[in-house]
Amino acid sequence: MSEIRTGHLVLANGDVFEGELFGAAAPGGVVTGEIVFNTVMSGYQEVISDPSYAGQIITFTTAHLGNYGTNGDDDEATTVHCRGVVLREMARRHSNWRSGGSLEDYLVRHGIAAIGGVDTRRLTRVLREGGAMPGAFGDASVEELTAAAKAAVGTDGCDLVSEVTCAESYTVEGNTARHVVAVDCGIKATIVDCLSEIARVTVVPSTTTADEIRALAPDGVFLSNGPGDPAAVTYLPDTIKSLLGEVPIFGICMGHQLLGTAVGGSTHKLPFGHHGGNHPIKEIATGKVEITSQNHNYCVSLDGVEGVEVTHVNLNDDTLAGFRCTDVPAFGIQYHPEAGPGPHDSRYLFERFAELIDAN
């Protein structure tokens, strides 16, 4: 480990936490972003590399991070988009047969700053009571960090999808003759892997028009996860609306929110979001409860919308976790059935998408 570098974390509400700095040096001594907490017990590399964390600082509630190092296979994207990482304790040594290096080296390589030694139980209580909020950390003075935290903005009104989507289309060969066009709002590598089990996958930028998607002759269209406020991604709901009824559609997380918007629903921000690998979801039709991986700050409301049926509900807070259209082949899921990281209870939903494609 490198020599100890002390620093502070300051929330927009003025709360101050002392800590020890890890990873890359904060530009100008200050890192800012919206602070959220994640309850996964493992899978920190997948979480940190998830593009859905663009604009955010991730607090891990688990006590230790870095125990098993990092490797070249578990990245969910080639670029890390989160603003920073907050943790209780960084492992002083890592040990795993798959490990190719330490978490500290991984953070440095990707230019991500982190602060450890933080009382993350206290921090999590603050976020649960006050909601996700902007903050700042680094080796600048507490006064500078306080000013930066108060000036920082959250994700409200921010189109972060445009920052993380691919610059150009690419294709991943699949195991069947089906062809799926995946709209990249910040797509995870594990999602592409799961889709490739059921189809050849053409991943396209989020700005791809409905006509450009039609020209690719897809058997199905997939709408991916992504960061930021779905209400700020104003260009995609019209694209989705144009394709509804022409081709089967499946949306996950941000894709689910955009599909919900396209059918006439609305979105709103949750107090502190759902971030973790242990959220119970009930499938209404069967009564089956799945333990799921989740990462989102916003939720869909379908009140008064016709032609839709709620299929899944979050048992922690009764929020909408899934729906399907009753008059066109389309459905959305708020959580992450690809489970990267997380339990695999919900991976059947990719096969359900394949069945919807075959039936239409």
CATH code of 334's domain = 3.40.50.880
Are 169 and 276 in the same domain?
Answer: yes
Are 230 and 138 in the same domain?
Answer: no
The mean predicted confidence, pLDDT, of the chain is: 96
Mean pLDDT of 344-358: 96
CA gap 292, 334 in Å, rounded: 10
What's the burial of 6, exposed, middle or buried (CB within 10 Å: 0-12/13-18/19+)?
Answer: exposed
Mean pLDDT of 50-61: 97
**Per residue in 46-55, pLDDT tens?**
999 999 999 9
Assess if residue 143 is contained within a domain: yes
Are 132 and 175 in the same domain?
Answer: no
Are 281 and 328 in the same domain?
Answer: yes
Share of the chain above pLDDT 70, in %: 99
CA gap 307, 222 in Å, rounded: 20
**Per residue in 91-103, pLDDT tens?**
989 999 999 999 9
Q: Range of 284's domain? A: 161-359
For the chain, the domain total comes to 2
CA gap 174, 180 in Å, rounded: 10
Query: Residue 137 to residues 52, 113, 127, 254: CA-CA distances in angstroms?
Result: 21, 9, 16, 28
Assess if residue 21 is contained within a domain: yes
Nearest to 85 by CA among 42, 160, 31: 31
Assess if residue 156 is contained within a domain: no
Mean pLDDT of 17-38: 96
Domain boundary among 151, 174, 195: 151
Are 263 and 309 in the same domain?
Answer: yes
Give the CATH number of the domain where residue 106 resides.
Answer: 3.50.30.20
Are 101 and 80 in the same domain?
Answer: yes
**Per residue in 161-189, pLDDT tens?**
999 999 999 999 998 999 999 999 999 99
CA gap 268, 262 in Å, rounded: 15
Are 60 and 143 in the same domain?
Answer: yes
CA gap 64, 81 in Å, rounded: 22
Assess if residue 97 is contained within a domain: yes
Find the farthest-apart pair of alpha carbons in the chain and give their distance in angstroms, rounded.
62
Q: Which residue shows structure tokens 């502190």?
A: 272
Are 185 and 333 in the same domain?
Answer: yes
Assess if residue 281 is contained within a domain: yes
Domain boundary among 94, 123, 151: 151
Are 241 and 345 in the same domain?
Answer: yes
**Per residue in 313-334, pLDDT tens?**
999 999 999 999 999 999 999 9
Domain boundary among 120, 151, 182: 151
Catalytic residues: 253, 336, 338
Judge whether residue 268 has pLDDT over 50: yes
Nearest to 248 by CA among 332, 161, 336, 311: 332
Backbone phi and psi for residue 9, each to the nearest 5 degrees, phi listed first: -115, 130
Q: Which amino acid is at 125?
A: R
Q: What is the 3-state secondary structure (H, E, C) of the chain?
A: CCCCEEEEEEECCCCEEEEEEEECCCHHHCEEEEEEEECCCCCHHHHHCCHHHCCEEEEECCCEECCCCECCCCCCCCCCCCCEEECCEECCCCCCCCCCECHHHHHHHCCCEEEECCCHHHHHHHHHHHCCEEEEEECCCHHHHHHHHHHCCCCCCCCCHHHHCCCCCEEECCCCCCEEEEEECCCCHHHHHHHHCCCEEEEEECCCCHHHHHHCCCCEEEECCCCCCHHHCCCHHHHHHHHCCCCCEEEECHHHHHHHHHCCCEEEEEEEEEEEEEEEEEECCCCCEEEEEEEEEEEEECCCCCCEEEEEEECCCCCEEEEEECCCCEEEECCECCCCCCCCCCCHHHHHHHHHHHHC
Q: Are 337 and 354 in contact (CB under 8 A)?
A: no
Judge whether residue 1 has pLDDT over 50: no
Are 126 and 263 in the same domain?
Answer: no
**Per residue in 198-217, pLDDT tens?**
999 999 999 999 999 999 99
Are 140 and 213 in the same domain?
Answer: no
